[in-house]
């Protein structure tokens, strides 16, 4: 006679396999989306290079401080 534990094991294995399959599919989707975003960013920078040439890389201009060495 089978116990509840031995009957549950195959079901748990199937559920775990399904979970792994879903996780792998989700990871593949994430990688595809990240690759698309990277390509879009590169293309945007190439197409709008003149905007980036005229833009300062600093958000706030550096202001001297009393702590600066002179």
pLDDT digits (tens, 9 = 90+) for 19-60: 999 999 999 999 999 999 999 999 998 898 888 777 666 666
pLDDT at 2 over 60: no
pTM over 0.85: no
pLDDT for res 66: 65
Higher per-residue pLDDT: 63 or 16? 16
pLDDT for res 69: 64
Rounded to whole angstroms, the Cα distance separating 55 from 45 reads 12
Cβ(42)–Cβ(34) under 8 Å?
Answer: no
Instruction: Tell me what the mean pLDDT of segment 7-28 comes to.
Output: 91
The residues near 52 (Cβ < 8 Å, ≥ 6 apart) are 45
């Amino acid at each position: 006679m089978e116990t509840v534990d031995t009957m549950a094991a195959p079901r748990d294995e199937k559920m775990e396999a399904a979970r792994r399959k879903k996780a792998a599919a989700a990871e593949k989707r994430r990688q595809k989306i990240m690759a698309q975003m990277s390509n879009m960013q590169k293309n945007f920078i190439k197409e709008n290079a003149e905007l980036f040439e005229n833009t300062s890389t600093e958000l706030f201009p550096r202001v001297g401080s009393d702590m600066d060495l002179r």
